[in-house]
Amino acid sequence: MLSASPAQAQRPTVRAGGGTPLSRRDSGGALALEGASGVLRSRVLRLAGIVVFSTALLLLLAGSLRHASNTPVTTARRRRPPPPPPATAEQCALLEKTELGGAVVRWGASHLKESAADCCAACASEAACTHWVWCGGACAAEKEAHQCWLKSAASPWEDVDLLEGRSDRWTSGVRAPRPPPAARPPPSTAPPAFALVFGSEPNAPRVRVRLFAEAAPRAAAFVRHLLRVAPNCTGCRFYRAEPVPPHWGSLEAADSWSGGRWGPPYALMQGSLMPTAADEPAAELPEKPEADMGAAARPVIRRGVLAWAGGGGGPDPFIALADHPEWGHGHTVWGEVLAEDMVVVDALMTRPIRVESWGTINASVFVSPLPFSLLSLLPSPT
């Protein structure tokens, strides 16, 4: 039997937890268990270190993210667009006390400028703008003050003879140079298309009318349809009679249509051009005509023209008894009374009238509405 080594001989007796002495054989197993426990403890401590390190790293990363989220993001300062270049006199072509019409390029209610020159410069910077309208002077204390309307028209100088100097509130300008003075176009020599006949007597008053078929094709088609199926025009009548007041268009009166230079009364004779039935039971009446649009169909209203009332379509026309620059290009103009027949219209306006309230206005109306029929003057189809 081999003797024990010195180390083994000096190893003390190992006791279990209860103090019971262990044999040398048992103590060797205990030593083996103790060694395994040390290895396990070392691994646990290493794993714990990894966990602590990972946790610290996560906390550091979370803190960095929180700091980044609380740090304001610096962005480039938004730059204002540069102001438009100063307008030249040629671009402005200033028209004091004038309101020009046209299609809207920029809405004035949200486009305010301090001066007419600023409004002119804004128009010069817009390719589509041919002219502009700025509210100053008499409207300085009104809601339209400083409004700058940018507009467009094929011929912005058209009808300027009717519009210039007629408004106390608006100033206008045109980018195109003012053309040299031109004579007003000669009256049309086109034959009349129909006549309004006031009565059934052979010598009943007649008012002959030219149709503007090319400029207002919808209105012209409506009238021609009536001439075919309802020339008796049962129910057609003139009911409104607004004489021309002595102060009409006067610059000495206020620029207003509520007691100023534009009425009341309102210088027109208005009626209905929709029959209650066709002359033949089998015939069909036309639908109410829609408004004709475009510059040719909506010129400034001059004395003698026929236009649809209200700015829209038919069937209620009026005959203008005076020029109406205050309405601009707001109505479809589809015909005109022959100049020599306006004396008949003026004579009809001498019939008794009365004033009645139409809500926002006091309207002058015939005491007895004035019925009429239609008489075609067009050549008969061959």
Q: What residue spans in the chain does CATH classification 2.40.100.10 cover?
A: 194-376
Please give the C-alpha separations between residue 53 and each of 44, 46, 56, 153, in angstroms, as whole numbers: 14, 11, 5, 77
Which residues of 14-160 form beta strands (DSSP E)? 94-95, 103-106, 131-135, 148-152
In three-state secondary structure terms, 64 is: helix
Least confident stretch, 174-183, 232-241, 263-272? 174-183
pLDDT category, 29, cuts 50, 70, 90? very low
What percentage of the chain exceeds 90 in pLDDT?
52
Question: Which class in CATH covers the domain with range 90-174?
Answer: alpha beta
Rounded Cα distance between 176 and 88, Å, is 12
360-371 pLDDT, tens per residue? 889 999 999 999
Q: Is the pTM of this model over 0.75?
A: no
Q: What is the CATH number of domain 194-376?
A: 2.40.100.10
Of the pLDDT bands very low, low, confident and very high (cuts 50, 70, 90), residue 153 is confident
- How far apart (Å, rounded) are the C-alpha atoms in residues 164 and 144? 20
pLDDT at residue 242 greater than cutoff 70: yes
Q: Looking at the chain, which residues constitute the CATH 3.50.4.10 domain(s)?
A: 90-174
User: 328: which 2 tokens?
Assistant: 């601009």
Contacts of 166 (CB under 8 A, 6+ apart): 97, 98, 99, 249, 251, 255, 325, 326
